Amino acid sequence: MQKPLTERILAYLEALEASGSVSSLKLAQEFKEDHQKVIGAIKSLQSLGSVIQTEQDSINTLQVTAEGNLIIENGSHEVVIYKKTPETGSIPLADLLSSVSETVGKVGLSKAVQLKWIKVESNAVSRVVTSVVDTIQQTLKEISAGSSNATEETLGDLRRRKLISASAQTYLIIRRGQDFTLNIEKLETELTLDILNDPDYEKKVFKPYNFNALGQPVKAGHLHPLLKVRAEFISILTEMGFSEMPTNRFVESSFWNFDALFVPQMHPARDVQDTFFMSVPANCNKVPGDYMEKVKKVHMDGDYGSLGYKTDWKEAEAFKNVLRTHTTAVSARVLHELGQQETFQPVKRFSIDRVFRNETLDATHLAEFHQVEGFVADRNLSLGHLIGVMREFFRRLGIDQLRFKPAFNPYTEPSMEVFAFHKGLKKWVEVGNSGVFRPEMLLPMNLPSDVRIIAWGLSLERPTMIRYGIDNIRSLVGPKVDLQMVYDNALCRLDKQ
């Protein structure tokens, strides 16, 4: 049986003079082994300490392309054309071209004419010389065998014709190290009881620890990218002093989803276009009665200095169950609870969970997505505070260029859309929606009149798709998700400053 490659390499070094060196490429040739195998053996010798010394270098090597290999087999295009031309007389050009492949016809004909091997007269091709030498084929054969001494000019020509390609190959140069030996002992990897009981244990040589080893990938469940980004959002918001709201109510009454938020009952968003109405159970059981009366009043007749909508307001409409269209329904419930407190306490709350909208499905839209929403409730907050909180929140997400644009929401006044500068796309993209909750929403909840609530919302999918370079939402959510993608994607670490 042949000795292991490591031992053959050591024997090779032994045979050289003490300071002699050899390259891994040469060893691969000598041993008729794959170069990568030789590199592997050298790496394992390296791990033994100073048995050998290594140095890395690289050379440009030439490879014959697939087209070049065809020429090695059949001859160069110009020679093929020459051979198809009769020794005497001529062949119609069309016949000649139809007897060869398109590349051979195109390149070979003009080359052979250029070399004055053949001539084309009134669409007939005839020979000019009586014999030709296929130098191209010859050179390619030599390059393929690694023994070419072709001039730069010839090589340049072959490269231009895409018959050869050049690439850099790295290799190792090795020589004997200060602990050079021919007898490599198998190194011990573990200190066991047997070794300790062995009187010779002190003589055992242990393999050094490789602290840079990556370790085995863990075979376990993996978090979906949305959950990884969510975890990052949760930690950012928690660090900013926000606490999470309960979001377990996917089915919500129109009352909390719309009416409590001063969304008029004839608002287009309530339309079946955008909202999924529940068939079973179609209606909710209860809504806090006195609060509902206040909401009804502010919608129909106005209150607290507001004119209201001056339209009819139907309890039956408010009781209709929907799949919540935004997490602002969650905020509304929590704010109503705040209004029931004996004394108002300032709070910062957030939520991240699913919402549902009847959208036209495409590469970036599904009928459900996750919203990240937050609010700060305190006395005397202003739009300046909202801008400040937005800047801080997005700065922690690694986004520091923000712009605000006036917008409209039925429940906030003023309202602002938030735009961030996307460095990759080199343009401003919408990243969220925000505003100061209206008194028509807060005062019926019993919140003190000087309490202001600044709030904002954004989607979780958008930053996730950007962060993980996913361009189709269907690769992120739904039956087409590739589990390997979930397995392979790294933890989410946003560039928090």
Given the rule CB under 6 A, which residues bind ligand PHE?
Answer: 326, 328, 373, 409, 412, 433-435, 455-457
Which C-beta is closer to ligand PHE: that of 6 or that of 247? 247
Tell me the residue number closest to ligand PHE, measured at CB. Answer: 457
CA torsion angle 99 105 108 112 (round to 10)? 80
Nearest to ligand PHE of 28, 269 (CB atom) = 269
Q: How many C-beta atoms surround the C-beta of residue 27 within 10 A? A: 24
Peptide bond into 414 cis (omega under 30): yes
DSSP at 65: -
Nearer to ligand PHE, 309 or 350 (CB): 350
Nearest distance from C-beta of residue 433 to ligand PHE, angstroms: 4
Instruction: Using the minimum distance from each CB to ligand PHE, give the nearer residue, 109 or 460.
Output: 460
Give the residue carrying structure tokens 């200095």: 305
Closest CB to ligand PHE among residues 68, 435: 435
CB 345 within 8 Å of CB 339: no
Buried-state track 51-86, b at ≥16 Cβ within 10 A, e below 16: bbebeeeeeeebebbeebebbbeebbbbbbbbebbe
Least distance in angstroms from the C-beta of 350 to ligand PHE:
11
Secondary structure of residue 142 in the 3-state scheme: helix
The distance of closest approach from Cβ of residue 473 to ligand PHE in the complex, given in angstroms and rounded to an integer, is 17
Q: How far is the CB of 453 from ligand PHE (least distance, A)?
A: 9
Q: DSSP E strands: which ranges in 189-346?
A: 243-244, 251-253, 321-323
Q: Which is nearer to ligand PHE, 71 or 381 (CB)?
A: 381
Residue 484 beta carbon to ligand PHE: minimum distance, rounded to whole angstroms? 33
Give min distance, CB of 301 to ligand PHE, in A: 25
Angle between helices 135-145 and 66-74 (to 10 degrees): 120
Nearer to ligand PHE, 247 or 489 (CB): 247
Which residues are within 8 A (CB) of 470 and not within 5 positions of it... i.e. 6 or more apart?
Answer: 225, 464, 476, 485
CA-wise closest residue to 145 among 61, 231, 263: 61
- Minimum CB–partner distance for residue 328 and ligand PHE (Å): 4
Phi/psi region, residue 215 (left: phi>0; alpha: psi -120 to 50; beta: rest), is left
